[in-house]
Chains A and B, each alone.
Chain A
Amino acid sequence: MASAHDGSAAPLAVSARGLVKQFGRRRGLDGVDLEVPSGAFLSIFGPNGAGKTTLLRMLALLSRPTRGELSLLGVDALEEPDSLRSRIGLISHKPMLYGDLTARENLRFFASLYGDVDEARIDELLRLVELDHRCNDCARTFSRGMQQRLSIARALVNDPELVLLDEPYSGLDPHAAELFDELIGRVRDGRTFVMVSHDLEKGFAMCSHALILARGRVVVCAEKERVDAAAFRDLYLATVGTGVS
């Protein structure tokens, strides 16, 4: 089994066995086994079409596997997805924000889907992402970097224990990417992160565990400390060369 788990007593945030996703005759995922301990930051790398986003959508409970077992935060995700949804957040390259609503209205709306809206909490989130001064402006008027910061606040309205990041740097300039890293660093304590990225350097620097996916299968999954960075890079480049699944 591909495991990022070192075998210690830390509970698992993600446990998957034999995940298969079939799209007609094509297999998006082909028997993925995965274990991610709580509090870890797992970066998933791989070529286009390797199944990274398919896997992340499954972890976000936006898609069900054709076959296999999936447990998130100790709960069977296929049996009890509804009880898990309030414990998971997703930050995507798409901001998932309503352009014609203000920053505050966006957060208030998404918070209301999880329960009672706490205005003080929304204020704190706006301050966290340094958008409190623009809280009454429509999201449409924000730059890409500002939208991505607001997207972080949106993903945190339910205080998720598992945060999923799908190519979060897509479209961000270097400064905005730096700000994004800083924000993620601030909210990292006590949460498990799973990130899909094409940026090997950045993704590897941020993670505690790294995984390479190709043709819907796990090529390697290990704790970063136990991985030789240069060898990992070579393996990644060789994998990218294999093309899509």
Chain B
Amino acid sequence: MSRIENERVCAKGSGGRAPRALAQYRALLAKDVRQELRTREMLTSMGVYALLVLTIYGAALAQVGDKLQVVSFAGGLLWALVIFTSLLGLNRSFGHETESGCLEGILLAPVDRAVIFLAKATSNLLFLLAVEVVVVPLFFLFFLSGAELAATTPLIAVPLLVGTVGVAGVGTLLSTMTIETRGRDVLLAILFIPVAFPLLYACVSATTCAFLGVEGTMGTFWTSCGVALVYDVVMIAAAWGLYEFVVDA
């Protein structure tokens, strides 16, 4: 302490150098992961919500017995589950940042705003994928265990991955825009669904094609995956570019 009383507190070393964006990205990502592993706020809330939705699906489908072929609309059910679970998580993702002004603490530092976006989108992607790793097998177990699955069913991993990347990217941008608003939970959903509609449509279409595995639908599958991929690239590039204006507003 005495040294500090007599001298400047810190060596000027790191303060004057332009910090590396990669190191900042790692620090931001590691902080999000450490916090989530410690609190499990996002993972628990998303996991519990997903189980609740699966239970409701189960209760509804139990009433119709064998009259419906679940495989034919499983893609829609699965994506409804993924999207609403994701919205819940995305709403929570900035909770820690706004709680005691931490986002301002980050914005004070010489960090490229696009790096903040990329780190937050990556952590959101990791948490969404972690929930999907648990929820998708449960979906199969509850609703498709008795069904005759097409050989193309494992291909649902492609739209799930491409779709989740887009959801994390667009969701991160929109949740940043809504963090300081009243009724942000509702506002995020209101903004997210129309903006992400092309992605959702493409992903539901591709997932349904993979589930059905009917001859001639694989063209639609790959076209839909391509549309979703283009959406990801365009929207994430736009979010990257717009993030500075959004976060500094």
Contact = CB atoms under 8 A, between A and B. Distances in A.
A binds B: yes
Given A62-B108, A159-B11, A124 B4 contact: yes
Contacts of A64: 248
A78 B184 CA distance: 31
A99 B108 CA distance: 19
Interface stretch (A40-48, A182-190, A221-229, A230-238): A182-190
Contact of A159 (B15, B23, B28, B38): B15
Contacts of B27: 109, 112-113
Contacts of B38: 100-101
Nearest to A132: B1
Interface stretch (A6-14, A90-98, A199-207, A212-220): A90-98
Nearest to B105: A96
Interface residues of B, number: 38
A94 B100 contact: yes
A105 interface: yes
B12 interface: yes
A85 interface: yes
Interface in A71-87: 82-83, 85-87
B38 to A, nearest CB: 5
Given A115-B19, A158-B15, A85 B4 contact: no
Interface residues of A, number: 48
B8 A116 contact: no
Majority SS at the chain A contact face: loop
B111 A125 contact: no
A157 B24 CA distance: 15
Contact of B101 (A87, A92, A117, A158): A92
B23 A112 contact: yes
A121 interface: yes
A61 B108 contact: yes
Contacts of A89: 108
Contact of B13 (A88, A94, A118): A118
Nearest to B249: A63
Contacts of A67: none
Interface in B100-117: 100-102, 104-111
Nearest to A128: B4
B9 A128 contact: yes
Contact of B24 (A92, A101, A113): A113
Given A94-B100, A96-B102, A112-B27, A121 B108 contact: no
A156 interface: yes
Interface string B213-236: 000000000000000000000000
Contacts of A97: 100, 102, 105
Contacts of A96: 100-102, 104-105
Contact of B104 (A87, A90, A101): A90
B244 to A, nearest CB: 11
B180 to A, nearest CB: 13
B34 A187 contact: no
A27 to B, nearest CB: 18
Contacts of A95: 100-101
B17 interface: yes
A117 B11 CA distance: 11
Given A118-B13, A158-B109, 9 more contacts: A89-B108, A94-B101, A101-B31, A110-B109, A113-B109, A113-B111, A118-B14, A121-B11, A156-B10
30 contacts: A62-B107, A62-B248, A63-B248, A64-B248, A83-B110, A85-B108, A85-B110, A86-B16, A94-B101, A95-B101, A96-B105, A97-B100, A97-B102, A97-B105, A98-B31, A98-B96, A101-B35, A101-B38, A110-B105, A111-B14, A113-B28, A113-B110, A113-B111, A118-B13, A118-B14, A121-B9, A127-B1, A156-B9, A158-B109, A159-B8
